[in-house]
Structure 1
């Protein structure tokens, strides 16, 4: 081989190595761009590395009061009577109270008319929902 051929081979090898390194860098960039932004962990899922346990601990701060649940979850509809929802502080609640707490709680948990099950409080316990109902009934007195 002469010097010219050797130089051409070296140049070709250099391009091959450079494009190979570029491909690896490009692959890494693609992997970085398409990786998931996060993951969902459910309470009790042991594969989440403690994230679910942390969430469970955070939510274990105790039951929210009926007033808190109403303000955070129920007021969006019950403050103004959206889609026929009984308004907070109105006689609508006096009429409903006559049906009994068992019926009102079952309606709130299962949904009734335009109200979906548990209203807008999917994370409320039955006791918290009952507290919110009691708070709305008390507002009518």
Structure 2
């Protein structure tokens, strides 16, 4: 005895075609004129993931220590030896400079020397701040200069 087969079992492609057609009709029914988006919602959705606020922290002239000046101005050249600048802490490179004395080192830093621009490129530095930076930098290489106090 043979069993009668159900019509859709013989042709599974028809069942699949019917399902795809029904899905397409449902999807197309949703197409149409959409309402205008809310401006506030749109602005919220397109905001950047992260925000970066930059604030310039300007120190009052004369109030920076030698180390602060070194970190913000001098390290770019003296940290790596750019254009022949003596590297921070290199006693051999600094010895002849330290031997010239604090006043000579300070005047060279204020006026510029060889590849170093006046005030090391920090045009806003006061003479006292340059003295602090010179003392700090020379002392890292064996100098024994007294850094002028910040209150001066």
Pick the structure with greater CA Rg: 2
Matched residues in 2 for 1:132 and 1:101: separation? Answer: 11
Matched residues in 1 for 2:100 and 2:63: separation? Answer: 25
- Whether 1:80 and 2:75 are equivalent positions in the alignment is no
Match of 1:122, SS state, is coil
Matched residues in 2 for 1:60 and 1:69: separation? Answer: 12
Alignment length, in residue pairs? Answer: 84
Matched residues in 1 for 2:115 and 2:137: separation? Answer: 18
Asked if structure 2 preserves the Cα contact closer than 8 Å seen for 1:93 and 1:136, the reply is no
Q: TM-score with structure 1 length normalisation?
A: 0.56
State the superposition RMSD in angstroms.
1.6
The corresponding residue for 1:103 is 104
- Whether 1:122 and 2:136 are equivalent positions in the alignment is no
Moved over 6 A (4+): none
Q: TM-score with structure 2 length normalisation?
A: 0.52
Asked if structure 1 preserves the Cα contact closer than 8 Å seen for 2:61 and 2:124, the reply is no
Match of 2:120, SS state, is coil
User: Is there any run of 5+ residues in structure 2 with no aligned partner, and where?
Assistant: 1-57, 143-152
User: Is there any run of 5+ residues in structure 1 with no aligned partner, and where?
Assistant: 1-57
Matched residues in 2 for 1:61 and 1:110: separation? Answer: 18
Query: Shift in Å at residue 108 of structure 1?
Result: 0.7
More helix by share: 1
Query: Shift in Å at residue 62 of structure 1?
Result: 5.1
